[in-house]
Amino acid sequence: PLVEASGMLKNALEGKYAVGQFNINNLEWTKSILLACEEVQSPVILGVSEGAGKYMGGYNTVVGMVKGLMEDLNITVPVAIHLDHGSFEGAKKAIAAGFTSVMFDGSHYDIEENLQKTREIVKIAHEKGISVEAEVGSIGGEEDGVIGKGEVADPQECLKLVECGIDFLAAGIGNIHGAYPENWEGLDLEVLAEIQKTVGEVPMVLHGGTGIPAEMVQDAIKLGISKVNVNTELQWAFAAEVRNYIESGKDKEGKGFDPRKILAKPAQAIIDGVKEKIEIFGSAHKA
Ligand code: G3H
Ligand code: ZN
């Protein structure tokens, strides 16, 4: 079923595993993620950045596509459609269009403005039973034009954000969107532990899931991370298979120009990539 995300994340926090947020870009991507999660019976959060939402036609298209796929493919696992790094206006639009979960990312505002805007989104979302993620301390790197400075979060500010009534918390702990540089020092697990101690039983979100060693992700899960966001890694896998198809000259043979043929292996790469992550996160058979 299509659900809000706080229930599945509370279960994850209790069960000491994490639910993957996999970002979607098009029909094939979405279908692959849903098929992979159904196969291993994992709950899932479909992440939609504002840029990807626009690319797919708009938020209504996204909601219609996901609902249609779930019905036609007989998807039975819990699925949330979640706005990723939403702006204040974007979050309101996603709620109106039928998203079941939204992230309001006010991490680039000063803390007071972040808190005030988060409170407002929580009020609108909760009236409709929609879950809310908010962020403090920014995630480094760039995602779809959203640029973060990569500041480690202050536990007291995390607590203030939680007190706004949010359902899950994204806190910068040295994580970065996209590839990690050679000299990356790893996640700041000490700060993560301190944040958890300060905020209590609130599911926490690890952004920038691409390229973090599996063991480090699992250590973070032990410290209260209940949702891990993955985007770039699946884009790499998809692009590598498209490149492989074109460069091997298959697009020139017979019906090789058929988009269904061009995208067959890339779509399979998404299925494989999602299943690999679920294995690390421990969310299989938790649907
Ligand atoms: O919000 C989305 C994620 O934080 C994705 O990060 O592209 O590094 O996997 P990533
Ligand atoms: Zn992110």
Q: Which ligand 1 atom is at minimum distance from the Cα of 85?
A: 1
Q: So what's the ipTM on this one? A: 0.99
Question: Can you give the C-alpha Rg of the chain in angstroms?
Answer: 18
84 is catalytic: yes
Q: Which ligand 1 atom is at minimum distance from the Cα of 103?
A: 1
What residues line ligand 1, using a CB cutoff of 6 Å?
23, 47, 84-85, 143, 177-178, 207-210, 229-233
The whole-model pTM stands at: 0.96
Residue 118 confidence (pLDDT): 98
Mean pLDDT, contiguous 10-residue spans, the chain (287 residues): 98 98 98 98 98 98 98 98 98 98 96 97 98 89 69 93 98 93 93 97 97 98 98 98 93 86 97 98 98
Q: How far is the CA of 142 from the centre of ligand 2 (A)?
A: 9
Q: For CA atoms 177, 200, 12, 52, give the dihedral sign.
A: negative
Q: Which ligand 1 atom is at minimum distance from the Cα of 178?
A: 8
Task: Report every protein residue that has its C-beta within 5 angstroms of ion ligand 2.
Answer: 207
Q: How far is CA 113 from the centre of its chain?
A: 24
CB 32 within 8 A of CB 54: no
Q: What pLDDT, in 10s, does the model give residues 245-277?
A: 999 988 887 888 999 999 999 999 999 999 999
Place of tokens 């995630």: 139
Q: What pLDDT, in 10s, does the model give residues 48-78?
A: 999 999 999 999 999 999 999 999 999 999 9
